[in-house]
Chains A and B, each alone.
Chain A
Amino acid sequence: NAGVTQTPKFQVLKTGQSMTLQCAQDMNHEYMSWYRQDPGMGLRLIHYSVGAGITDQGEVPNGYNVSRSTTEDFPLRLLSAAPSQTSVYFCASSRPGQRRYTFGSGTRLTVV
């Protein structure tokens, strides 16, 4: 089925560990983005990309890295996990200018 696939769905990390959240889409969408969702805070933009080789920072980029080597994939890297990064992470994609985001089902991350 076409859509946005996020892996893993759940993850527990220890403080200081690093990991990569995977996001892949098969709709040939140029625009991809990462959000984190926290209770009472809504969705906050971490990083986004308007095409392969191009990334930019969103509202809350500190502690996260991204790269976009292909149109399909947009991984999010946590360099040194902190309890403040406990959250639900969503990846989304769209065609340029369309702004009809397709969201993945999310990754629930707990940092202990």
Chain B
Amino acid sequence: AQSVTQLGSHVSVSEGALVLLRCNYSSSVPPYLFWYVQYPNQGLQLLLKYTTGATLVKGINGFEAEFKKSETSFHLTKPSAHMSDAAEYFCAVSGMNRDDKIIFGKGTRLHILP
């Protein structure tokens, strides 16, 4: 079975400050890991994904995440927050098989303070 735990249902940062959203995963097989973002009244869109290879993954809008197997973590970071980053962020996990389904975390709502 696979699962993800996102630490903090709400995170607030000041504009220009570092964004850090935490995600820990549990998987009995080597995982694929994802971060998705949801803007108000929209569906989700992929920010970045880790499959194999380089453990530091760069995504869209300046976000990146690092896969740390020893810590079973996949935290999302951005050096400098922008007002447009306010959204809900979802960490997700799946197995490596072709038809493995994706399991999402409960989400973290990011608030940007002016």
Q: Choose one: B9, B34, B101; the contact of A33 (CB below 8 Å).
A: B101
Q: Choose one: B43, B51, B106; the contact of A103 (CB below 8 Å).
A: B43
Q: Is the CB of B107 within 8 A of A42?
A: yes
Q: Mark B73-88, 1 if CB is under 8 A from A, else 0.
A: 0000000000000000
Total residue contacts A-B, CB cutoff 8 A: 56
Q: How far is the CB of A103 from chain B (nearest CB, A)?
A: 3
Q: Is the CB of B43 within 8 A of A90?
A: yes
Q: Is the CB of B43 within 8 A of A43?
A: no
Q: How far is the CA of A19 from the CA of B34 in the complex (A)?
A: 32
Which residues does chain A contribute within 8 Å of B94, judged by CB atoms? 99
Q: How far is the CA of A44 from the CA of B106 in the complex (A)?
A: 9
Which residues does chain B contribute within 8 Å of A97, judged by CB atoms? 98-99
Q: Mark A23-46, 1 if CB is under 8 A from B, else 0.
A: 000000001010100001111110
Q: How big is chain B's contact interface, by range?
A: 20 to 34
- Chain A to chain B: the 5 pairs with minimum beta-carbon distance, closest first: A103-B43, A42-B106, A43-B104, A97-B98, A50-B99
Q: Is the CB of A99 within 8 A of B99?
A: no
Q: Choose one: B45, B90, B98; the contact of A43 (CB below 8 Å).
A: B90
Residues of A in contact, count (CB < 8 Å): 25
Q: Is the CB of A106 within 8 A of B49?
A: no
Which residues does chain A contribute within 8 Å of B32, judged by CB atoms? 99
State whether A105 and B103 are in contact (beta carbons under 8 Å apart), knowing that A99-B32, A100-B49 are contacts in the complex.
no
Q: Mark B2-19, 1 if CB is under 8 A from A, else 0.
A: 000010010000000000
Which residues does chain A contribute within 8 Å of B9, judged by CB atoms? 40
